Amino acid sequence: MFKKIRIAILLFILFLVGANSYLTHERTTDWDQSLAIVIYPVNADASPATADYIARLSKEDFRPIERFMQNEGIRYSLSLVDPVLIHMAPEVAAHPPALPFGANIITIMWWSLRLRYWAWRNDTYQGPLTNIQVFVLYYDPEAYSRLDHSLGLKEGHLCLVKAFASRQQTEGNNVIIAHEILHTLGATDKYNLQTLQPFYPEGYADPAQKPLLPQNYAEIMGGAIPVSESESKIPDSLAYTLIGPQTAREINWLK
């Protein structure tokens, strides 16, 4: 009986949170004003190298995300000059709750609530209203050659991004950050989760190109530049990405 009551309470809380998230999302994607996006750096591996990298970060390092959204907004005749404005918060010391991989739906929903509570408790930003929180977990590339997947949650407008603490990879980090930000706005992945190959045609930057391959750019939610039917490469920067029509519809830039 106690377990049923606990589940009922959790479902009621989730209903309230979901209703609030829906209304917030509708307001966020009406594009009548610029979205305030705040970057929260986290030293995920507690290394001196990562600490040094974070100490040198500034919001100028994230300006390419603003320019990318601005340029793509122009392509889609968005009336808003600056779709997003990037801000940077002081470093966050705490680590987010770990995602329970392979858990049941109730456990995942409970994790989602815990994550939002963690984000609220560790909000180091002192500026005006924030529309999207982006917690960037940095790792020393000398110790980590590969990182787990990042997350962009539409419910809560919250991102957890795994990134390398390297000046040479700052532009690549911005590609991942932009991808996850678009997830919070309703954009879906457009690549095969097993092969990581972009789907045709929605995951291709120019699906009408002749010959089709190799492509020159990546559709941002396709995640990579297709170079053959079985091979693709990660774009080095946002200069080699664009927003395709399906993604534009999902974020309410196209009807």
Q: Tens digit of pLDDT for each residue in 104-124?
A: 877 888 888 899 999 999 999
- Over 70: is that where the pLDDT of 189 sits? yes
Residues of the chain with CATH 3.40.390: 2-186
Is a pLDDT exceeding 80 seen at residue 30? yes
Please give the pLDDT value at position 11: 60
**Domain 2-186: which CATH number of 3.40.50, 3.40.390, 1.10.3470, 3.30.70:** 3.40.390
Q: Which of 172, 117, 120, 116 is nearest to 141 (CA)?
A: 172
pTM: 0.90
pLDDT in the model for residue 23:
46
The pLDDT tens digits of the residues spanning 144-178 come to 999 999 999 998 899 999 999 999 999 999 999 99
19 vs 231: which has the higher pLDDT: 231
pLDDT at 2 over 50: yes
User: Token pair of 75, please?
Assistant: 């392509």
